[in-house]
Amino acid sequence: MKKILLLSTILVFIFNSFALAEKEKNVSGTLLINVKAWKEYNMHDLYRPPIKGARILIIDSLGKIVGNVLTDNEGKAVSNFSVPRDPRFPNKDLGVVTVIAIADGYNEFINFNVVLNEHGTEFENSVNIFLRGIVWGRRNEPQYIHASFHRHTVFPMLDYYAKKAGLVRQDIPLKYQSLEIAPWSPQLK
């Protein structure tokens, strides 16, 4: 009986040690995402209308979707999640994610390397995303920042996560079928 009790105590200690070590490898936080329309031809007008119903996918550094939310009437979305701690910054308790924004009538947008908890928990983590509207008869492609990838590397990655999240392509009217592939929609299958 004493051996079983001793063995149980040792196993609990080992399990708790692994759980603590795993917890130290992760960073938890809240990310505020602001999605607005990009105005290409009027740079003097600083007003950018918010986009309601944009789908936000948040991908951690291991390729896992850790957030999947829609923006509200003000173009804002909030997501709480836990991600692996970034070992490149040993003196900071921060993580890095990729944020994908998808809205009907707009081209997709990908922001690589969005930092979570760079300044500690007293500062709010936020990211601003500006979506470009679809322009019929023109090449419409997803926009992306903070990455040196070739577009033919990024686009299949976007397709992978959109399919994984269960999204569908935007419904393009027949008169605008000049688009090779319609952009993704925030709507689920």
- Total number of domains in the chain: 1
Residue (of 31, 32, 36, 38) closest to 52 by Cα position: 36
Any domain includes 3: no
Contact (CB, 8 A) for 107 and 158: no
The answer to whether position 23 is within a domain reads no
pLDDT for residue 40: 65
pLDDT at 22: 45
Secondary structure class of 53 (helix, strand, coil)? coil
Determine contact, residues 35/78, Cβ cutoff 8 Å. no
Residue 44 in any domain: the answer is yes
With tokens 């051996």, the residue in question is 3
Give a yes or no: residue 140 inside a domain: yes
CB 74 within 8 A of CB 51: no
**pLDDT by position in tens, the chain (length 189):** 666 665 666 655 555 544 444 446 899 889 999 999 987 655 666 668 999 999 999 999 999 999 999 999 999 999 999 999 999 989 888 899 999 999 999 999 999 999 988 776 545 688 999 999 988 777 788 999 998 999 889 999 999 999 999 999 998 776 555 556 788 999 998
Q: Which residues on neighbouring strands pair with residue 131, listed in sequence order?
A: 37
pTM: 0.81
Residue located via tokens 């392509």: 169
In a domain, 184, yes or no: yes
Which residues span the domain enclosing 84?
A: 28-188
What are phi and psi for residue 133, nearest 5 degrees?
A: -65, 155
Q: How many angstroms separate the CA atoms of 170 and 127, rounded?
A: 25
pLDDT score for 112: 95
Q: How many other β-carbons are positioned within 10 Å of the β-carbon of residue 158?
A: 20
- Domain membership of residue 13 (yes or no) is no
- Computed on alpha carbons and rounded to an integer, the radius of gyration of the chain in Å comes to 21
In a domain, 134, yes or no: yes
Give every CB contact of residue 98 below 8 A, 6+ residues apart in sequence.
Answer: 58, 59, 110, 111, 112, 113, 114
